[in-house]
Structure 1
């Protein structure tokens, strides 16, 4: 199937109040295939007026949607889950074209992202309150959960389905309406999902999707609008800080899933082969373009040579190419600026003394490719120690003592996720208690799970998505004192 055939299945207008419409003034912007640099679609470029119309629609639908029976809300999510999973091949091709990841990576994201629809379809009917007797016996204390109200969700480009369903599904389950602004680099997946949810029976105005290249200009008035009650964002810490500042005026409920600098600890007693398997998952999932990607490999000096050699062998054996091609393990990075940033970080480390075990050379030809790269002898002043790489690069540092390794892992402003490999059960407890992160993977390279709370601490943000905690972000607690 050609790129034009794939893209023709996706609406390319704004989705507001249940209708597909052009942007005011008819403006559009291009979406490119990062494997070639070619434009594959043009989607509506929303104006301030379009953003206001989307919020108007969400506000108008809020009261009726909040009163919709939880079972009905859950059934819509369940139908959407079934539709997404049954159309995996279709969506995978769309996602690969606009984001670059290989088809098998796109299919893995679809399986993960769809699970949020199923998980929260089940959580919708489990929203509960509490009843108790006041200590003096004269009053009954009741608490109930009610939807926060209209939500603005701003999603990133790297997981265009899962980062959407992780916000949309709990909002729907809780009874909140929403405006979603997907990333300009990968808007097609979200537009496709909106169509699926509409077909699943989601009422008009509950979900509104606004695509725009002028995010600040169009979203700013929505954040300042007193009718908006929650802001949820996944993206960089820099942008997150700005959004939190903007949200303060309206005292919005805010959840932020921001940057990461994930440490990957390998202790001297670790199963090195298992650690390399975990490293490949933690580093190369989504071509390394993930906030959960292992960013710093902190390896005990006694196993560092073996680990580095085996990791380099595995990385070098990966096949790069356009994501739609058969047998491809590593697709292009999402855009030239991202590829240039990764190359700059590697060049900086090498210039300061790092040793290249594999990769580190930008290939010729079309597309924004960068080879899987392993660096050893990385100096402490290299930028890759402190900056999020967001690419297929594994810098390796060494340590001697357990406390030193944990301290190195915590030596960052970020605190999203950490990984650790050890066979010492007592050490496992010391490590996961000592790491300053919101999530920890022990002897595994993937922690993301719709049934678990996803989120970080420090500059990695606040709030949780997924698990039983995820729906709480979209609910307010009301207390009733009942005299008897």
Structure 2
């Protein structure tokens, strides 16, 4: 039985979507454990944030299910770690090709459960696939070193990289395909195995990847995907489980700290990869190319309706450019943005994911207004479209007295802040306990190198708002996390470096 009260509307939605999705076997509702699709009596509803309709009821896994999956992954590790690197590379390449072959269907599933416009979902699927291609090419290149001994010319030292074992993968709802791909691809490349807990808001994209992995020839037990809405309980259990050797998590700093604390209660010390919260500065210097800076902010701030960890969160504009920049930004939003359901023609921005998200955005905007910020466009809910829609918003004259200066917004709100000189704005930009990404626009070579080095973030976009791709070592500093994902460095966090010393 569907738990949504409007059963007829839901059934009509499913019939409509089944006609749109060519390969409806990609819509799975069971858990993927040991290469088999299994279900429990307990279920939870997955809803479309644009409409509130139930899409499917999905198996609700508990502690016993996760324990079984972890033990299976542990057993599978003994065999999979011995797999030839070229075999693992071929599996990854197969996943890449299958994702591209099914990209339209995968994007439709993503839009259904996440709400982002179909065009954006299609972009995410292609982006996700690229990680499998990247690590297909990196799998045969897990190198060690030969190190000259400091003690004896006869003694030989060399290093090798070995897989860790079972990896616990905990992912968010905002990029339900890409965040799994960025973690699963290096797991396979390095010969590890994994248990994945996708966000309960968006499990269908994760389960669709399970279908793809199965068809790609991934051996049973290597990748196990268990949907659940017992989020806190399962997160704690996976972190404490002695067979889990590493946790990789994308989400808030608060939850990341909680998971690390829970892990310390277990019997073994785990490796961690954490991609946590951000408060990205976006700086438009006096000599910036204003057209490029405006184009950049549209994607960097408003992509996924502002629900990305690397979104521009504080937009610093030089006082000489402030009036023109703010006017042109408002004009662009007014003329080019269309809010609505992600499947509707022309829609550029969708809803927020749930009530807590939109309540937080509304509270931050209200606080800023109360403390003197100007609403240049938007500034309120778009309730006529549905309870989770918020108008794309630009706030002028934002200052440090406002909560929005320090808190990650995760919504379609652009706070504009005036500044005078380079040293001042760098100091203000760094005035936060997180440091994931930062952006700035300048045509002065001295300013470029100076600002790039002084911004206390893990990734810097110079004259671009596009900084995420498989070749980039993705990760932050301070309370924005640990480790790097993607790039040639992405292998390191999924392996253990072993030193071997050979005496004559």
TM range (shorter): over 0.9
Among candidates 53, 59, 66, match of residue 81 of structure 2? 66
Is 1:441 aligned to 2:461, yes or no?
yes
**Alignment partner, residue 52 of structure 1:** 67
Deviations 1:356-404 (A, max 9, x none): 1111121233241111110101232211101111111100011111100
Distance 1:9 1:194, change over 3 A: closer
**Alignment partner, residue 334 of structure 1:** 353
| SS of the residue 1:2 aligns to | helix
Distance 1:8 1:67, change over 3 A: closer
Give the distance between the partners of 1:27 and 1:232, measured in 2 at CA: 27
| SS of the residue 2:488 aligns to | coil
**Alignment partner, residue 163 of structure 2:** 147
Q: Shift of the alpha carbon at 1:103?
A: 0.7
Among candidates 21, 37, 42, match of residue 52 of structure 2? 37
Among candidates 9, 25, 39, match of residue 22 of structure 1? 39
**Alignment partner, residue 369 of structure 2:** 350
Among candidates 475, 480, 484, match of residue 455 of structure 1? 475
Distance 1:373 1:66, change over 3 A: same
Report if the CA contact (8 A) 1:33-1:39 is conserved: yes
| SS of the residue 2:338 aligns to | coil
Q: Shift of the alpha carbon at 1:3?
A: 3.3
Report if the CA contact (8 A) 2:330-2:377 is conserved: yes
Report if the CA contact (8 A) 2:31-2:227 is conserved: yes
Report if the CA contact (8 A) 2:240-2:264 is conserved: no
Report if the CA contact (8 A) 2:351-2:389 is conserved: yes
Report if the CA contact (8 A) 2:236-2:263 is conserved: no
Report if the CA contact (8 A) 2:71-2:243 is conserved: no
**Alignment partner, residue 405 of structure 1:** 425
Q: Shift of the alpha carbon at 1:311?
A: 0.9
Report if the CA contact (8 A) 2:235-2:259 is conserved: no
Is 1:11 aligned to 2:31, yes or no?
no
Give the distance between the partners of 2:370 and 2:435, measured in 1 at CA: 28
**Alignment partner, residue 214 of structure 1:** 230
| SS of the residue 2:244 aligns to | coil
| SS of the residue 1:46 aligns to | coil
| SS of the residue 1:469 aligns to | helix
> Matched residue pairs, number?
482
Give the distance between the partners of 1:223 and 1:238, measured in 2 at CA: 15
Is 1:478 aligned to 2:498, yes or no?
yes
TM normalised by structure 1 equals: 0.98
Deviations 1:220-276 (A, max 9, x none): 233222221100100000000011112234210001000000000001111111110
Report if the CA contact (8 A) 1:419-1:445 is conserved: yes
Give the distance between the partners of 1:9 and 1:473, measured in 2 at CA: 31
Give the distance between the partners of 2:126 and 2:237, measured in 1 at CA: 35
**Alignment partner, residue 163 of structure 1:** 179
Could you list the runs of 4 or more consecutive aligned residues of structure 1 that deviate by over 4 angstroms after TM superposition? Answer: 4-8
Is 1:122 aligned to 2:134, yes or no?
no
Q: Shift of the alpha carbon at 1:452?
A: 1.0
Among candidates 414, 424, 428, match of residue 448 of structure 2? 428
Among candidates 217, 231, 235, match of residue 247 of structure 2? 231
Alignment of 1:228-267 (within 5 A): 228-249=244-265, 250-267=268-285
Is 1:313 aligned to 2:328, yes or no?
no
Deviations 1:402-437 (A, max 9, x none): 100111110111100000000100110000000000
- Of residues 354-363 and 454-463 in structure 1, the stretch that sits farther from structure 2 once superposed is 354-363
Give the distance between the partners of 2:348 and 2:220, measured in 1 at CA: 40
Is 1:464 aligned to 2:464, yes or no?
no
- Of residues 104-113 and 2-11 in structure 1, the stretch that sits farther from structure 2 once superposed is 2-11
Report if the CA contact (8 A) 1:46-1:218 is conserved: no
Q: Shift of the alpha carbon at 1:316?
A: 1.9
Report if the CA contact (8 A) 2:26-2:211 is conserved: no
Among candidates 375, 381, 390, match of residue 395 of structure 2? 375
Report if the CA contact (8 A) 2:289-2:442 is conserved: yes
Report if the CA contact (8 A) 1:156-1:234 is conserved: yes
Deviations 1:164-207 (A, max 9, x none): 00000001000000000000001100000011001000000000
Give the distance between the partners of 1:311 and 1:177, measured in 2 at CA: 47
Give the distance between the partners of 1:217 and 1:343, measured in 2 at CA: 30
Report if the CA contact (8 A) 1:117-1:169 is conserved: yes
Give the distance between the partners of 1:55 and 1:430, measured in 2 at CA: 48
Report if the CA contact (8 A) 1:320-1:331 is conserved: yes
Give the distance between the partners of 1:109 and 1:446, measured in 2 at CA: 13
